[in-house]
Structures are given as C-alpha cells and as structure tokens.
Amino acid sequence: MSWYRNTVWFVKGLREYTRCGYESASRHFNPDDVEVNVAGRSFLVTGANSGIGKATAKEIARRGGTVHLVCRNEERAAAARGDIVAETGNQNIFLHILDISNPKEIWKFAEKFQTEHELHVLINNAGCMVNNRELTEDGLEKNFATNTLGAHHRKLGSKLLLLHSVWKQMSTYILTTALLPLLEKAADARVITVSSGGMLVQKLNLSDLQSANGTFDGTMVYAQNKRQQVVLTEQWAKAHRNIHFSVMHPGWADTPAVRSSMPDFYEKMRSSLRTEAQGADTVLWLAVSSEAAKFPSGLFFQDRQPVSTHLPLASTHSPPEDEEKLMEVLEEFSQKFRSTAPGS
C-alpha cells in the first residue's frame, strides 16, 4: 500500500504541485480576491524570516495589515523585518523571538501576547523534519514537538531536514489553542495552517505519536505530522464556529529550506519548482480574501480551491473516535507544559 500511495502521490505532484501546476490553476484565479486593504487587521505569522512565511508576511504588509513575525533567530528575523518594511513602506511589522519547538515557551508567549495585542488571523507556518529520532529537553520527539505540539525551524547538525511547509504539530496545537480566546474576540477571525500534500500518503496513527517504534523515517514522520495538522483543523472547525479554520498545501516551492535540506530533490526539480510567492499565494488568499471565508471552515486547500484529504483507494481514512482521541492526547500533553511553565 505504501508503494501505491507514494507512486500516486508523486505522479499527482508532478502534475499539480510544480510551477506548471500553479500556472495552470492560476488561470482561474480572480486577481481582485487579494487586492484588498487590510489596514486595522492584525496577523501573526510563524516561521516568517524566510520562504513562504516571509513571502506571506510581505504581501499582507503590502496590503496594510499589522504583521507579527514569530521567529527563532533574532538576527535573521530583524533582517526579514527590514526587507518587508523597505519593500512595503509598512512600519507596523513587529518581531517576536520564540523557539517554537519549546512548549513551555509557546504558552508563555501566547499568554503575554494576549495581554498586549489583538489578533484577527493566525498563520501557522513553522516546522522541522528530523531524519533521526531525537528528543527535546522535555523528552518529546522533535518532529512531534515542533510540527504537532509546538513548531520550530532549526538546524540540528546533519540530522535535521528543513522542509518549507513542515512547521507545527505539537506547537501548532499549543499556539493555536492558547490564542483561541483572543481570536474569539475578533471579527472575521481565521486560522491558516501551512501543511503539505505529503500527508496524503499517511493514515493517522495514534499508536506511535512520538515515533518510538520501528525504523525511524523522517520523511514519513513528517507526513504523519502533516496528517495530524489536517485532523486538528477539522476538529477545531467543529468546536469553534466563530473562527474560520483552513489548512493548505503550498506545492513544491523553491525556498531556502528546500535548497539546503533537500539538495537531491532540488537539483532534480529546480526548473519545475514554484517561486516562494506562488507557494504563498493560497496562504495570502485564505488570510485576506472575503471569497475564502465563504467556504466551510475546516477544509484543505490547494491553489485557492478545497481538495480531498485522501488519495483514491489509499485507505487513509480514520474513524472519528481516532481523530477525537488525537485531540484528547494533545490537550493532555499541552496542559502538562502549561502547568509547569515558569510563572504560570
């Protein structure tokens, strides 16, 4: 079955996820959808110092929005802010330095943010792919801690692959959960999670969330994390009717992460990869367009259209009780770190 899933997915990718796929899809875009003024609205973007996160933040800033950049590296974050301000003339760009793989720090950040800012749109766009099983200082497997429970973008020797849309599982859950009260107060509130089409090759697996069993495969762990993000989005949409939730695949884009961490893939596909702006297009559309909010909450998007979260005949559907159980497990994990956070 894994051979079938991987083959069907790769063929689909060659047809849809490349630059040609974007150009074909974009013929049906309405340019007016994103030609809007979002002055007075506040956006938080994680992993915003490069790649799709930075491209998204820049386009929001160009449209007048207040943008909060959440990044781990202060030097690169400051450089990104400088670029965005210089290109857009928008001074309402704010930096927040946060290691999004650290659940305790995420709780502290979110609780402080709520007392100082308003928020209309949260864009979860940070993450990692670790090729060997590694644990954080809290004893969590790093892909799980970053992509599901938290979210991070860091190079950990030769063992870490950075993938352009990999950020947020445990961190995604904690950051989103912690900011829900603030979002509930906002008009037209939205949460957008940058996922990956790679999740299509995985069925939700609750038996080994921290990848402790069997041979560790970072690529498949990453894909499993992306499947978890889709489930999170669907479950949140059911529970929080006043917020519009969406999850999306940016396609195969030419980002610094892909160039540095996937050199073989990059060399083979470089002429076919999307630009960062093309990868960010649907994120921007979901964040600012009134048309996007007309779709039901909880859907998976690709090139401004909702698409299936399963490949045909791939047997990746999960029973509702498994999806509900995932939420229970993540809530248990997250509250553990909230209760032990200094000052909480």
- Which residues neighbour 49 within 8 Å (Cβ) at sequence distance 6 or greater? 69, 71, 73, 76, 77, 79, 80
Token duo for residue 93: 């760009």
- The contacts found for 267-270 with CB under 8 angstroms, 24 or more apart, are 269/18
Phi, then psi, of 253 in degrees rounded to 5:
-115, 150
CA 151, CA 136: separation in Å to the nearest integer? Answer: 12
CA 254, CA 22: separation in Å to the nearest integer? Answer: 13
Query: Following CA atoms 55, 57, 61, 62 in sequence, which dihedral angle do they give, to the nearest 10 degrees?
Result: 20
Token duo for residue 8: 């069907």
Q: Tell me which residue of 230, 239, 233 sits closest to 197, measured CA to CA.
A: 230
Q: Which residue among 17, 22, 173, 222 is the active-site one?
A: 222
Distances (CA, A) of 176 to 11, 91, 213, 279, 319: 33, 26, 29, 22, 24
Distances (CA, A) of 76 to 95, 109, 124: 11, 19, 19
Token duo for residue 105: 């720090």
Instruction: Respond yes or no: is residue 4 known to be catalytic.
Output: no
Active site residues: 222
